[in-house]
Structure 1
Amino acid sequence: MNYELELISDLSETLSYNQADFPLYANKIKLEHFDRFTAACHCHLDIEFVLMLEGNMDYYINGNIVTIHAGEGLFINSNRLHYGFTSECKNCILIEVAIPPSLFSEHLAYIQNFWSEKFGNETEDFILLSKKIPWQYEVLNLIVSIYKNILKDKPNPFQILSQASKLCLHISENISTYKQDSSDTWNWLTLAKMTGFIHSQYENKITLDDIAVAGAVCRSQCCTLFNKYISQTPIAYLKYIRLQKSCEMLRDSKKSVSEIALSCGFQSASYFTYTFKKELGMLPTEYRKQYYKNKI
């Protein structure tokens, strides 16, 4: 059986779980489906696990860049800005699993307090995972197991919940703590608010002022934070998200180019087509044809 899910264009602030009433995300992703082999910078409450199946990939996580190779993995802590990319512009295939605290009942204070302690701002941003370390080897195997199990016609929720609990157990027992500078914490939280605003409002008209207001900062500080931590201007990041969403719609819907342009916040179909051609090197219609040709 071929265990694959529908490929996605980016992970937004609120993940789309495999089943609406069971908050857990598992997917297989090809980086070639992203513009310039680079995913959108984002963050979410979920903790995230990555297993590289083929190729090499770089990950930006809260200002750090790490590389993972085939057979290796990565744990990304909660509410960390991150994105995957490859400067070599070569495809890679990976499995991602994301676990939110709500999977273990968000109403249980004890669990939530422990989650905040282990996956809060004063613990490591990420952990590289290797087959050479026994507990990390088990984590890599659990990533595969969760992915396969959640794709079954009738997945056993107790089995998946048990495996997700084991993932959290391994990390909670091995993650290190450190004292983060309060100003740095504020910067990350402010940037997360602004990127979250873009992810949720990209289909509407958005100005630099709107983005700055979302983070309760001035225009200048807004631009400074984006340039420092994402290496993009706020408007460039907004354009990138809109293009990623348009690629997703071109692949996964039968909407016309005009409909997609308006749905993604572009002022007109002609401007969307111009921007798409300039950034991706082909027309939206050519992108759609190429995708379906490669899919066959």
Structure 2
Amino acid sequence: MYHTVSFAFRNEDASIMTIDSVGWQNVSHAKYRCSSDARPDYGHVVFQYTLSGQGYLDIDGQTFPLPKGHALIVKVSEEHCYYYKEDSTEPWEFVWINIRGEEANRIWNLIIEKEGHVIKRSPDSPLIQQLWNIIRLINQEKVTDRYQLSVQVYQWLLILVRSSRDREKDIGALSVTTIEKCKQFIRENYDSPITLDLLAEHCEINKHYLCRLFQRSEQTSPLAYLKDRRIEAALTMLRTTELPVFQIGRKCGFESPSYFGKVFRQYMSMSPTEYRLNKLEFPYDAIYYE
């Protein structure tokens, strides 16, 4: 089946980030070449994801194949060219989005620094599904308002950033289960004495391996995660109860009032009593460190 649907949007509003063009295409001839030196959309960014077949990207003196499940991510201001080879065995089918706006360029820099100009995502990933949703909104629901489209683009970009960060934490299903088991135990027992040995025993793994897994997944240690949960609970109790400060510290797992005060000051730059009274600067019933 031959697919082709594409949409372009033209306006002079440079105050927001929005779509320049988006579409779904299937090419099978070597005339398809997108070279940065022949483009008028300088300052834009492009994401192009392969559904089937294969394309190629030339950038930074290298050639990258773009097979199924891979996407190019380039800034038009960079010297590059992506294209279809005439000797390919099947057409190159892809979806793409071209975005204009300074924030898009900033996010592109983040992704390229982490993953390079070619990234891999599953066809059923939230990133690709949201791109299909944008195409559907335009094609079927006839959404063309630039502000509505800007909202969709921001959502898509947030998914892109999150998926890139989640890939850094890709540690396998079994390890994810172990980390969640550890986190749940901490959340349910932060008011009790908890040691690294106890956490490792609960998770049935070596404590050093637990620390490595936790650091890779959460970018923090199990005991730092525990301290965050204890402080969160203390902050809430200080604002929502009349309990004395020393009792709150004890209920949140701190072994002494002095240690509670020391740790609390590290987080809030004030004592627990000062926080309880200072409702103008921190008018919140709860603060989270996730």
Fold equivalence (TM over 0.5): no
Taking CA–CA contacts closer than 8 Å with sequence separation of 6 or more, which of the two structures ends up with the larger relative contact order? Answer: 1
Which structure has more strand as a fraction of its residues? 2
TM interval, short-chain normalised: 0.3 to 0.5
Larger Rg, first or second structure (1 or 2): 2
TM-score, structure 2 as length reference: 0.40
